[in-house]
Structure 1
Amino acid sequence: MNIVITGASRGIGRELIKRYLNRANKIYAIARDEEKLKELKKISNKIEIISLDLANLDKVREVSKYLGDKEIDLVILNAAISLPHSPNFTPFEDFKRSFDVNFLSIHALLEYIVPSMQKRKRGKIVFISSLASLIASPTSLPYSATKRAINSYAQSLRNLLAKDNIKVINILPGFIKTDMTAKNNFYMPFLMELEDGVDRIQKAIEKNYKEYAFPKRFYYLIKLFTFLPLNLQDKLLQNLVK
């Protein structure tokens, strides 16, 4: 099995690489931090590291072309950036970078991988979205927007590729202890340990869940919120920026 994992140098991506090493012929580990990737490379010669800034979409497309010839069986699109929560309007350059990394790079990376899977009539594509995609937080405008875009993209792609026997899985985690969440200076309900979070992600991948949100208690609370009248939702969300 040949696997591609983005955001591979730390956190969820790094843990997934360790989990899949015994089952993989080759893992293509993509991340921006070259030093962290070199550390990862020492673990196994099955790991091929690709240092790449996902905001550079032309370079991402070049990597896609390279990977298109590698008969990729599984792609885990884990990489994302998150700006600090802020009540201020996001500057354009920060907003653009968030969309380039979190969303547009996905299509660029899949450009040559998907046609290869279609020819072989097999493959699996996994998106790591977020429970943050279900509520449009006013203090994390670009992150919520990019993750919600992923939900739509994943559903579209799943139904587009069903005829080709390609599985598309969208995973929506809550808060997991990683470098990203360590930067948050607010209370994170149901914060999970990395190993527990990755256990659930791996289970969703293995069982081919079309969509999997966790932890369930947090997910159900969010769903209850979305059933509230829009005026009430807005009033509650506006309290975040006071």
Structure 2
Amino acid sequence: MSGTEKTAFKRVLLKISGEALMGDQSYGLHPPTVERIAREVKSVHDMGVEICMVIGGGNVFRGLQGSAQGMERTTADYMGMLATVMNALAMQSALEGLGVFTRVISAIRMDEVAEPYIRRRAVRHLEKKRVCIFAAGTGNPYFTTDTAATLRANEMACEAIFKGTKVDGVYDKDPVKYPDAKRYDEVSYDEVLQKHLGVMDASAIALARDNNLPIIVFSLDEPGGFRGILAGEGTYTRVGG
């Protein structure tokens, strides 16, 4: 029912890690997995929801890891930003293959493959029901894609950040390792920071808290999970807001 269903939010930002695109591989992109996630995005887009995306680059290169191995941190971070551009282009290709108009918008200028980030232009794309994929983080080293996602969500006046993970919410400890891990239905920004719950990094959580932007943590591996939550169903944790 395109654009007619009642949804909890009208404009959201979906944040996923680069690792989410790997499938069962240990590195790189797994095209069937990219297409599966694109179908999830399309199902929400078909509800009339305006969608931005930020995708990490950890499946190709992680700046912190490179830095830990002796590479100069700034250089390593820029390499990580370029990795996010590759992931964004892959997602754009998958979405457009499904008939969803998409724009990749990069914080680092590379006009042959992506638009430069201009806030008003990006907002206009959303109003025209195009999916905007924000690439290259904030364009600055020392900032993660979590922080970039929170920044862009605020700039775009999104009503929530949807953080797609491998588990169906925020737990007090790793549910894969500890069967007695407790899942939170709701948790405050301060609790996330104090208990080091690992939802997003501290800068991102603080920026969300300062702007009262809720973060919805859900499982990206659950078919229909993204769409279900927007329709008022499913299992997730709401952080703040």
TM over 0.5: no
With the length of structure 1 as denominator, give the TM-score of the two structures.
0.41
Which structure ranks higher in relative contact order (CA pairs < 8 Å, sequence separation ≥ 6)?
2
Give the greater-gyration-radius structure (CA). Answer: 1
